[in-house]
Chain A
Amino acid sequence: MTSLPGTPGPGTQLTPRDARPAPPATPAPPATPARPATPALTETPSARAIPAAYRHLAGRSVDPVGIEQRAAALASRSVKTVAKDHALRTAISLLDLTTLEGSDTPGKVRIVSARARRPDPGDPSVPSVAAVCVYPSLVGEVAAALCGSPVKVASVATGFPSGQIPLAEKVREVEHAVAAGADEIDMVLNRGALLAGRYSEVVEEVQRVKAACDGRHLKVILETGELGGYEMIRRASLLAIAGGADFIKTSTGKLPRAATPPVVLCMLEVVRDVYGETGQMIGVKAAGGVRSAKQAIALLVLVVETLGPSWLTPDLFRIGASSLLNDLLMQVHRRESGVYQSPDGFPVD
């Protein structure tokens, strides 16, 4: 088992991105004998979709009550004073500022991009966000607006949010977004194939999209609210990772059930297992339904207590949200001024 980075003690060095161990070409055999996986994964041709190194991880069960209680217990962590200051700024720095509306216009995404670079022009201690996330048609606009800034351009793709378009169309859409200047692609996992048990198809699709990304960061959206349970979230996570995902992402944000703490915890645990077995560091993006600073901080706590604080970099953790930024900023101002803020003190966009 590989030890988690940052866990042995307070003085431990963090692992910067370029120090990540490269994923082994042929995944190393697991440190322990492979556990019997669920029959669906080991005994069908589809099972081979999952590399041997992860196959037993995919068969591992999740107790729903246990994971929900663990998430609830971590939600009761009290993050106050200087720890809160730090958490609020960290959350902003991990934000994928998102606008995914049919009514999005070039003007709208330019405003969003401006806020992404300088979330609070009056307070230079507030960092820029990690990325701006838009539909492919607006990538060019955003790329221009973010030019010269460290803020990444992210684009949803592959028939977002349902993913119900032919694979060739998905690939074309990704190629378009990349050509328009996207640094990151948020694809949707083929849930239809997944729920029908066509695991190879799921993985192949991720592989094709990954190839089309041409080196750009690939986030794979699992849409956990449609998967029916934690075991399937685990399985979907591993299939996405097997296909080459750099990140696994909870949701499209288009469903009411989205990035709940136990779902995020479940995915973090998969990432921890994969790291333990192969040394590969996969990122997690929580998206959908995260509106308050309190929720965002609770997510950061989940990461810290599952994978360690070194996982809280934009390379390994993101929060996708649209309205969250204002609440984070309100909390930052509240901390600095000691006075509760009015929403009207912050721009609506």
Chain B
Amino acid sequence: MSRLTVTKTNKLFIDGSFVRSESGQTFTIAGDRYPRASRKDVRDAVRAARAGYARWSAQTPYNRGQVLYRLAEMLETRRHELEAACSGAAEVERSIDRVVWYAGWPDKLTQVLGSTNSVAGPYLNYTTAEPTGVVGVLAPTEPPLEGLISRLAPVLAGGNAAVVLAGEVSAPAAVVLAEALATSDLPAGAANLLTGPTHETAKVLAGHLDIDALDLDVAGEPGYLIELERLAAGGVTRVVRQRATEQTLGCVAAFVEHKTVWHPRGI
């Protein structure tokens, strides 16, 4: 008699832990069962992200870069699993290389985006790039892995914490990505991944007053996006719309705040 395989129970990734949906509900993709995140899961994820943001943003940019690089390493070791969860090897390689690209940014953001400003008076005046805070990410559905990583990596590179709504078709990729995140030395709560239909949860996330920015999938249905943007307006939440697989500094800059500091110069 052959051995019975041990099957994996797919879970949400919240606050560094793998948890079932609070609702107990699941959905099925390609015969596998995945947790269906509820409103309360979104609530918990935002709370975890707020705490995770404090930890992640307190690390040195050098350290954040190393953690992101380690994420690439962790993805590389899971490439077979990842290939099965997306369109294949090429997408996995692009995704891993994208993480590597963003891993180089944390300790360069202030040098590229910030400045020392010549003001007309006896002051040192400088502008630094600081994280925006907690970012809600509505991940694109296609391509499943590259879309998730293209949206998550710049948010983390900026020093932000993320609550990612991975949706349904990307759920297999999200689960493997979560395992890579969990083993990458990322502080608990800095990245939270929720699977399941997003029609309800996206509204909860967009209207949540404790998120600072919202990354919307440009490919979304227009009427729905308008509704999400209106919800975000209630908290003066920054709304960013970027292409699914874009890899630019702008993707990080969208989640960076410029802080300007003045100090007198005198004897």
Contacts and interface: CB of A to CB of B under 8 A. Distances in A.
Interface residues of A, number: 7
Interface string A223-256: 0000011000000000000000000000000000
A247 B267 CA distance: 26
A64 interface: yes
Q: How large is the interface on B (under 10, 10 to 19, 20 to 34, 35 or more residues)?
A: under 10
Interface string A59-102: 00001111010000000000000000000000000000000000
B199 interface: no
Given A65-B122, A65-B123, A229 B264 contact: no
A235 to B, nearest CB: 15
Interface string B131-154: 000000000000000000000000
Nearest to A66: B264
Contacts of B264: 63-66
Interface in B215-267: 264-267
Contacts of A229: 267
A64 B122 CA distance: 10
B124 to A, nearest CB: 11
A63 B263 CA distance: 11
Chain A facing B: main interface SS: helix
B264 to A, nearest CB: 3
Contacts of A65: 122-123, 264-266
Contacts of B265: 65
Interface string B63-88: 00000000000000000000000000
Interface string A119-132: 00000000000000
A112 B266 CA distance: 41
B265 to A, nearest CB: 7
A64 to B, nearest CB: 3
A65 B123 CA distance: 9
Interface in A240-291: none
A229 B267 CA distance: 6
Interface in A21-69: 63-66, 68
A69 to B, nearest CB: 9
Contacts of A64: 264, 266-267
A4 B267 CA distance: 29
B72 to A, nearest CB: 48
A68 B121 CA distance: 12
A176 to B, nearest CB: 39
A204 B67 CA distance: 64
Nearest to A62: B266
14 contacts: A63-B264, A63-B266, A64-B264, A64-B266, A64-B267, A65-B122, A65-B123, A65-B264, A65-B265, A65-B266, A66-B264, A68-B266, A228-B267, A229-B267
List the 5 closest pairs (A to B, CB-CB), nearest first: A64-B266, A65-B264, A65-B266, A65-B122, A229-B267
Given A63-B264, A68-B266, 12 more contacts: A63-B266, A64-B264, A64-B266, A64-B267, A65-B122, A65-B123, A65-B264, A65-B265, A65-B266, A66-B264, A228-B267, A229-B267
